Structure 1
Amino acid sequence: MRALFDPASPGATGASPASGRRRVAVLALGGTIAMTSGGDGLVPVAGARRQLEELGVAWDEIDVLGQDLAQVPSAHLGWGHLRDLADRIGVLARTGGPESLDGVVVTQGTDLLEDVAFGLDLLLDHDLPVVVTGALRGRDAVSSDAGANLANAVVVAADPGARGRGVLVAANETVHAARSVRKTHTHRLEAFTSPSWGPEGLVVEGRVIWRGGPRGPRVGLPRAERGWPRVPVLPTGLGDDGMLLDGLLASPPDGLVVEAVGAGHVPHALVDALASLAQSVPVVLCTRVPSGPVLRATYGYAGSETDLLRRGLLWAGALPAHKARILLVLALAGGLERGAVEHRLSQLAVTA
């Protein structure tokens, strides 16, 4: 591995790669992958340079550049971080000539890793491979996955087969699409899975084995130019009397995501209020079930998926509530109207 570092602008200056070599930039945001044990627990200490220097990997065909964008746990990331990251990657994607990149790796914490990956997938409008990775265990843990996940993410980002697949997540020798990946365990190394579709590929002996071609078109949301809209997620469950919804209606949000039960069903007490709200702002219907989509025309009682969709709620298919919220926030912040939001949801609903 020849690691090239330009803290100000990776890909814009520095040594040109040798003929035939791939070029990957690593953008570091912090997270467990950058943490070691301190007095009160894990704390971030390693930037992109240290993460790469400590890998001890000798790639024959890849040059790596690094840049620190933040040094925070992912639970502290916000919409501004996401927009700035998308802008930074966009600049790298447009860099041409001998300084052009073959891929980008983002390192961050795993708490919001799928959120950032999905947000980037919505905002980026180019085919430059972008791979997000993190670690479940700190850098000084006996069984740390920090080095292996970073090394594999670089391999994935440099692989020509990654181009055109949208933003990817590399973890535990597995590659997932941002639209379908879920964190399904709090601390195990195999925490990241794609419950409905399975992984995009595997990393075996430093090579990527892909499982077929890309699954769907890029969504391509416009850049967020206005203030961030208020879009809460409304959970539902046994005996729900609508108290949380009543509170929301007292100060109506800019949009709402409903995390329904089963195939997209809510208690009867919520139906009229949801229908009323859906006449003024986008209300997206999701399910709390980890696998499978919201149905569209199977059940017919009040509060069923058929009833709610007929009353104006928007169908999210298999998209989970937290990702539907990301889409809705970014779409509204980018100035999209209800019809355009519904179209974007339909693009993702059957491939999430």
Structure 2
Amino acid sequence: MSIALFALGGTISVSGRATGERLTGAEITAAVPGLDELGVPLDVRDVHAVPSGSLTFTQVLDVVEAASRAVAEGSAGVVVTQGTDTLEETAFLADLVWPHDAPFVLTGAMRQPGMAGADGPANVLAAARVAASPAARGLGALVAFNDEVHAARWVRKSHSTSTAAFVSPNAGPVGRVVEGGVRVLAPPPRRAVLPAGIGRARLDAARVALHCVTFDDDPGRLEGLAATYRGLVVAGFGAGHVPASFAPVLGALADRIPVVLTSRTGSGPVLRRTYSAPGSETDLQQRGLINGGLLDPYKARVLLRLLLAAGAEHDDITAAFAEHG
């Protein structure tokens, strides 16, 4: 039995040597005190050594596929180290397609290895402990950071530099690493697993736009969008509102492509029937927009793109957002 560790790029792998040179997974784990006391060996593999902002859906699904093979071959859990910029999105993508009880744990670092107070080693140790813990089985994809354990569905990067950047505004951490042990305090419910074996061509074709509505915004920016995108996520004001001028434009788009309504606030749900003015959540749903529930715009985009690539129809997409949102 082992823990499979997949090392990507990101701050945790910045070597401080030649420009662009990255630490390998073996070099990252060699700097982690206490790993030898875990009781489970690490099977370290290097993949896609790029900043997380350059990762693609296909690359992340490739990692999930390799992790599935590792579990089938006997690994008790999986750790993925990567950059933090898109970690909340890659974690959610992995969670949507991860079919195993074995924990799939993502982590990274906010400070480079050569900096004072580098947090990478502590985060890797915490992630390995979570991946090896029976308490974390059956919880899907998790993020281990700053000795907290977050569900992929809820976690967000909330700060550009803090070592406590990862939070779950709607739910809080689902667990913590305490004195080397993993305590799961609020296990997240598992949702239906979506298909992972989607070809690159279908993913590339399932492009989804994201528009964040702003003060005195111009709906003209959405003209022609349905000709080049298969779906749209709208990050609306507050509980799911847009300027009245946007309502007919979004309604016309919803007649052609799936349009998902989310909130730009960072936490809280999109309402369903509290407000009724033009541009309100009630009005927009009557025009055909899909309620994104508690999903933030970034995760809603991940879910919508995966659904479109899998060939889901409008009713299936609405049902999926009702379940996952």
Same fold (TM over 0.5): yes
Residue 127 of structure 1 corresponds to 101
Equivalent residue letter for 1:80: T
Question: What is the aligned counterpart of 1:343 among 313, 319, 324?
Answer: 319
Aligned positions of 1:37-52 closer than 5 A: 37-38=16-17, 43-52=20-29
- Which of 241, 246, 271 is the equivalent residue of 1:270? 246
| 1:102 alignment partner AA | A
Superposition misfits of 4+ residues, deviation over 4 angstroms: none
Return the offset for 1:36: 3.0
For residue 137 of structure 2, the aligned residue among 163, 166, 179 is 163
Residues of 1 paired with 2:324 and 2:216: CA distance? Answer: 31
Aligned to 2:270: 294
1:35 maps to 2:9: no
Alignment match, 1:330: 306
CA distance in 2, matches of 1:309, 1:44: 49
Deviation (angstroms), 1:287? 0.5
What is the correspondence of 1:92-107 to structure 2 with a 5 Å cutoff?
A: 92-95=70-73, 100-107=74-81
Match of 1:24 in 2: 3
Tell me, which stretches of 5 or more residues in structure 2 are unaligned? none
Distance in 2 separating the partners of 1:216 and 1:71: 30
Q: Deviations over 1:299-330 (max 9, x none)?
A: 01111001111111111111011111111111
- Secondary structure of the residue aligned to 2:177 is strand
The question of whether the paired residues in 1 share the 8 Å contact of 2:247 and 2:278 is answered with yes
| TM-fit CA distance, 1:216 | 3.5
Q: Kindly report the root-mean-square deviation, in angstroms, between the aligned alpha carbons of the 2 structures.
A: 1.5
- Cα deviations by residue, 1:187-213 (Å, 9 ceiling, x for unpaired): 100000000100011111111111133
How much has 1:47 moved relative to structure 2?
A: 1.2
Quick one: structure 1 residues 285 and 60, their matched pair in 2 at CA, closer, same or farther if it must change by over 3 Å? closer
Distance 1:208 1:44 in 2: 34
Q: CA deviation at 1:237?
A: 1.6
Q: Distance in 1 between matches of 2:262 and 2:17?
A: 40
Q: Which amino acid aligns with 2:117?
A: S
Query: Is 1:180–2:180 an aligned residue pair?
Result: no
Taking structure 1 as the reference length, the TM-score comes to 0.88
Matching residue within 202, 205, 210 for 1:233: 210
Identity of aligned residues (%): 40
Tell which deviates more after alignment, 141-150 or 58-67.
Answer: 58-67
Given that 1:152 and 1:203 are in contact with CA atoms closer than 8 Å, whether structure 2 keeps it comes out as yes
SS of alignment partner, residue 36 of structure 1: coil
Q: Deviations over 1:170-199 (max 9, x none)?
A: 001100000100000001000000001000
Residue 215 of structure 1 and its aligned partner are, at CA, apart by 2.4
Per-residue deviation, 1:65:
1.0
Q: Give the 3-state SS of the residue equivalent to 1:132 in structure 2.
A: strand
* Match of residue 297 from structure 2: 321
The question of whether the paired residues in 1 share the 8 Å contact of 2:232 and 2:259 is answered with yes
The aligned counterpart of 1:64 is: 42
Q: Does 1:140 align with 2:119?
A: no
Secondary structure of the residue that 2:27 maps to in structure 1?
helix
Displacement, 1:26? Answer: 0.4
1:46-104 alpha-carbon deviations (Å, 9 max, x no partner): 11111112213231522111000121111111122112112112212222xxxx11100
Three-state SS of the structure 1 residue aligned to 2:41 is: strand
Alignment deviations for residues 245-294 of structure 1 (CA, whole Å, 9 cap, x no partner): 12525x34100000100110000111111111111211000000111100
